[in-house]
Structure 1
Amino acid sequence: MGERIIKKIILRIVWSLIFLCLVFILVKNLTLLTTSKSSIPFPELDNVPDFTLNTLDGKEVALSNYKGNGMMINFWASWCSPCKKEMPAIENVYNSFKEKGFEVLAINLGEKEERIVDFLEKYPLSFPILLDDDIVSTDYMVHSLPTSYFVEPDGSLNKIHIGELSEEELYKIVSELLTTD
């Protein structure tokens, strides 16, 4: 009888350890998805996929209309804390570089227009806010927010950044983007 109790205790300990390992792996992966910061250069890619999306007021905006400008395509949502933190930095950098040919297209992922309008009242932005149709975010393989694509003036992809960008990081990336040949 004592041997049976010991086997039950050992079995419970083993299952508890397995459970804890699975929880650890899950938490580690979720943390990487939501807080990882990476800038990945992709010099071997040609042009980024073109798209046409609507603004809040129904105006159509096509990526191809911006060819010749260095660009940031930012995928975001109002519920995303890193997105909220980086939007003022994006606005500041945009205002600093727009006269030098820098453009920003901010693509909101699937939120109701009222939520976006509420966000814009708290965080006034002067660059276009576009409404994703789920096709663009799929074409751009967006799995985590915020995700930013930096596009050369010739339309080729310079780099992708997953995670929040500071104003200092943005200044550095945009300065390099606008000075590349």
Structure 2
Amino acid sequence: MQSGSGALANVRAAWARARQRWWVRWGVDLVLLALVFVAVAAWQTRHLPGSGAPAPDFTLRTLEGETVSLQSLRGKPVVLAFWAPWCGVCGAESSNLSQLRRLAGDSAHVVSVALAYEDEEAVRRFTREHAVDYPVLLGDDSLQQAWRVNMFPTVFFLSPEGRIERSVVGYTTLAGLSWRWML
């Protein structure tokens, strides 16, 4: 029988041999990177309404002057993106939301809410500069507080019944949006 220190030495030696293989080094690095990514994502969403919670209701005006309520979107999954016109990351993510809207077609609603804007013209300028082709609603501070959004962009994925299923903060690729929407 080996002593505890002998067994530990054997484990260390085996690990050193394994680390000499490129695929082991890469695999370990990828697992560590994934763990860091998951930890950061969990930290960023820690104050947002939790999974399974009812989505805070709203009735908001669009840039065209129509009103849209969250209640009217029920019956299909909803991808609800909160953004600000001054947010560069929001601009980068905007084309991903457009692509998701085209990908989802009639099977889901892809809607955005502009927050933290100086005036409506700033929102209009953002939509022109980024060729926004999804509905844009005009939110306010009370809506931002109700949804507990304190970073941009923040995207919520709602069930057809209006419950929050998932959320993500920060830039999200089309693959990331699609994966979360389809779960």
Given the two structures, how large is their TM-score scaled by the length of structure 1?
Answer: 0.71
Any conservation in 1 of the 2:60–2:69 contact (CA below 8 Å)? yes
1:4-83 aligned at under 5 Å gives the runs 37-38=41-42, 42-45=50-53, 47-83=54-90
Q: Which residue of 1 aligns with 2:8?
A: none
Of 104, 123, 132, the residue aligned with 2:130 is 123
Match of 1:113 in 2: 120
Which residue in the other structure is 1:91 paired with? Answer: 98
Does the 8 Å contact 1:37/1:164 carry over to 2?
Answer: no
Whole-angstrom distance in 2 between the partners of 1:94 and 1:165: 14
Contact residue 106 and residue 127 of structure 1 kept, 8 A: yes
SS of the aligned residue for 1:127 comes to coil
Counterpart of 2:113, as a letter, is I
Q: 1:79 to 1:48 in 2, by over 3 A?
A: same
Q: Tell whether the 8 Å contact from 1:55 to 1:61 is kept in structure 2 after alignment.
A: yes
Q: Which runs of 5+ in 1 are unaligned?
A: 1-35, 177-181
Shift, 1:44, TM fit: 4.2
Cα offset, 1:98, TM superposition: 2.3
Give a deviation string over 1:29-80, Cα, whole Å, max 9, x none.
Answer: xxxxxxx5458694442x2111001111221110000111101111101211
For each residue in 1:14-42, what CA deviation from the matched residue of structure 2 results, as whole angstroms up to 9, or x when unmatched? xxxxxxxxxxxxxxxxxxxxxx5458694
Paired residue secondary structure (1:160): strand
C-alpha distance in 2 between matches for 1:72 and 1:119? 19
CA contact (8 A) 1:53 1:133 kept: no
Matched length: 139
Aligned-pair identity in percent equals 27
Pairing of 1:154-173 with structure 2 (within 5 A): 154-173=161-180
- C-alpha distance in structure 2 between counterparts of 1:44 and 1:105, whole Å: 20
- In 1, Cα distance between the equivalents of 2:52 and 2:164? 9
